[in-house]
Structure 1
């Protein structure tokens, strides 16, 4: 027994000696690393600290959206959670999804339709994998956006607005160019006593104020305000949809989320405030004062002469109009982030088609000539100058028709933004008619 104890004691001593040696070895490595760092030049240390700060900033200014693509679920109609329970959660949360990215072209060939995913059974999700999607945030905590209601109320209280216009700008401030300025010019040229609220993360800043200063210097009423989605969507079905998006109850889809947020935002803004919504690639030609609760058709069926598709680039509605509520509910209940136009032009088309026979909402569907006198696949001809007598005759006739029948012209910026505005073209002449400053170099440039 004594020999066994002696043997065990010897082995324990060896183990302790080995551990002690390991500790001393690690201490020597630490001292070596510290000595090495201390010997580095100050400039190199500063560079290392800067890289560390940049890494941390990217980690902080990002939004995490759970992608339930790994879940095994049965496809069923999408249903929102209890709005009362969602509202309790919304009180605790702030609007953190303040997005500003450049618009992208709709994909020529969409990925396979993934459909909308209903609220998931947590047990069916493999939590080991999680997809992280990053969006450029203007404010990490959304603090600057929380004053949306206050800023809008103050702006409207001190402005005598004969009419109220809304625009949304989801892109960076650097991409807000002279053609977008033309759209604002044309609005005020036809509506000098109106007010414009430009809902945008990127433009609600000192640089944005400088961009819009030429208008305010002329006494025109325009303001850029960051959206507070929690505040704007409150007490509508959009509130529960937005909370579901943040909680990952359905996929955002392959279409840029910012475009779909813009589609929803315009509907809720008009529902809450009333007025006119315009895309920033719409040139206004004449007053909308005689239009009320109107939407424009984009295309007409050649056989029946009835509209076949509507568009949401121009919307004119009274506050709390019931059709706007139908639009918002349709967005929240049938959202699909994988089909381009599903939550925009196709959405308003679907809803109006259902109520069109009864027309109990007293809504006017205007012909394509009102806002869309040229379709997206033919917009290039509006940018070209006439090359011969026949071209000149066509331009003259087209201009007469537009000036007589159109309230505005949608420029289809995705297709036309790279086109040069040639002198003598239809667009050149329409801009010349509708400008306020009329000294822009991009009359003839990209």
Structure 2
């Protein structure tokens, strides 16, 4: 009788052990597979971006290929976004910009370039994973010292930038021109929504944001004689006149100073400037920044206008919520539906 009870007890213990092992295996199998599910992403609401660029020296925990690698290819038809803060990811507005560019340009490669390392968790579980569903979206890391080595602005990017009171913005201004000088293509701000394809546009162009003022939030310079000359001249201008305490002096104003030497009359209107097409503000900046609030209310703003993009003036509006019936939300649902659906009512926060 005692032997029978012992055998029965062992049987139940063995059965329990099998059940525990089976449950554990099933649980971890489910969790591991669920963690790879593109629909099970983490919504990250980033704090205010750090006002320094020290992360450019960090090498650990970086999952991205280097943009300085000889094998790096941005594509024959390339659009570039530069994320020059040290957050280590992007917010919903920036992700919307990338998605809208990818949707409008299925035959272009959309390149999102970071100065910060991107960790594996962020790459696989944040909005970046959603963007990688688009076959024409690629990410890469810019290591400033390598990327600028031997270039006209090497000293500015490796030494003088440390004196800047606006390092995130100055770095973006300079890298946009340097990237186009290296590869050719289109450079865009990360606070835009692309609403028309750039396919009909010439290889070299830029737009005015208002009256006589050029903006660098959207511009194209090709790897041709015109594009290389203009970007070379701009980089020389930045190197020679870099002003660490002035907001736009090293970006749009540097470009304007160069083009103004060639065709000051065109800058007062629009048209061809020695091979560079200058577009009107309504083509790329239909709402000038003093009227930024029009994007955050329910207004018939979109009636009768068809710009190539909308600029959301994030340096002013980044703390503003985006009501679901606002112009911004309407544009997002149309041009970046995947990102908007991912965030829902929390889009733009």
- Say yes or no: TM over 0.5: yes
Asked if structure 1 preserves the Cα contact closer than 8 Å seen for 2:205 and 2:278, the reply is yes
1:198 pairs, out of 101, 112, 116, with: 112
Q: Normalising to structure 1: TM-score of the pair?
A: 0.58
- SS in structure 2 opposite 1:192? coil
Give yes or no for contact 1:138–1:202 (8 Å, CA) kept in 2. yes
SS in 1 for 2:137: strand
Instruction: Give unpaired runs (5+ residues) of structure 1.
Output: 1-100, 105-133, 301-307, 386-394
Residue 44 of structure 2: aligned partner: none
Alignment match, 2:68: 149
Q: Separation in 2 of the partners of 1:203 and 1:434?
A: 28
Which of 339, 344, 351 is matched with 2:246 structurally?
Answer: 339
Check the 8 A contact 2:191/2:314 in 1, yes or no: yes
Q: Report the CA distance shift for 1:272/1:442 in structure 2 as closer, same or farther (over 3 A).
A: farther
Residue deviations 1:330-370, cap 9 Å, x none? 11000001122111122222222111149763001100011
Q: Hey, what does 2:29 align to over in structure 1?
A: none
Counterpart residue number, 1:163: 77
CA distance in 1, matches of 2:321, 2:176: 30
Partner in structure 1 of residue 344 of structure 2: 441
| Alignment length (residue pairs) | 287
Gap change, CA 1:155 and 1:285, over 3 Å in 2: same
Q: Distance in 2 between matches of 1:381 and 1:166?
A: 27
Name the CA shift for 1:354/1:427 in 2 (closer, same or farther; >3 Å).
same
Is the contact between residue 232 and residue 269 of structure 1 (CA under 8 Å) also seen in structure 2? no
Residue 56 of structure 1 is matched in structure 2 by none
**C-alpha RMSD of matched pairs (Å):** 2.9
Aligned to 1:260, what secondary structure does the other structure show?
helix
Question: In the alignment, which residue of structure 2 is the partner of 1:280?
Answer: 190
| TM-score, normalised by the number of residues in structure 2 | 0.73
> What is the rounded CA distance, in whole Å, between the counterparts of 1:184 and 1:407 in structure 2?
14
Q: Which residue number in structure 1 is paired with residue 312 of structure 2?
A: 411
Could you say if the C-alpha distance between residues 209 and 442 of structure 1 is closer, same or farther in structure 2, counting changes exceeding 3 Å?
Answer: same
- For residues 317 and 256 of structure 1, the distance between their equivalents in structure 2, rounded to whole angstroms, comes to 25
What is residue 230 of structure 1 aligned with on the other side? 145
**Counterpart for residue 207 of structure 2:** 296
Which residue is equivalent to 1:318?
Answer: 222
The 1:443/1:428 distance shift into structure 2, 3 A limit, reads farther
- Alignment match, 2:4: none
Residue aligned with 1:339, SS: coil
Choose which of 173, 176, 181 in structure 2 pairs with 1:266: 176
Offset at 1:139? 3.9
Pick from 72, 82, 93 the counterpart of residue 179 of structure 1: 93
Tell me which moved more, 263-272 or 320-329.
320-329
